[in-house]
Amino acid sequence: QVQLVESGGGLVQAGGSLRLSCIASVRPFSSYGMAWFRQAPGKEREFVAVINWSTSSTYYADSVKGRFTISRDNAKNTVYLQMSSLKPEDTAVYYCAAKRYNTGTSPGGYDYWGQGTQVTVSS
């Protein structure tokens, strides 16, 4: 059974940093585009960042560009989200998602999802 397991969330002050990790049991990991989404209370799930499965090219939501960095380690089946200069509006549950031989900014179409990890940024 495929699993995506996120970790690294927590409580941080505004301006601080966190690094999220997502270990995926999809095989082969190198054939999956990987993305991070987030969902704040009462809001729809929104795109954060995505990384291509073969070129490792990346794309970010405007709201996090220049502050967040997505990366992947195919040898460890892991995708990361380094978050810096965090703001209270970054508070949300963060989810990783996997899409075979594809990427995208819409939640629909992703094949697998993790259970999410809570990130809370205090002002």
The mean per-residue pLDDT over the stretch 8-27 comes to: 97
Q: What is the pLDDT of residues 84-99, one digit of tens each?
A: 999 999 999 999 999 9
Residue 121 burial (C-beta neighbours within 10 Å; 0-12, 13-18, 19+): buried
Q: What is the pLDDT of residues 31-52, one digit of tens each?
A: 999 999 999 999 999 999 999 9
Distance CA 62, CA 78 (A): 24
Token look-up 């259970």 returns: 115
Instruction: Please report the pLDDT score of residue 115 as a whole number.
Output: 97
pLDDT surpasses 90 at 100: yes
Distance CA 69, CA 81 (A): 6
Considering the chain, what percentage of its residues have pLDDT values greater than 90? 93
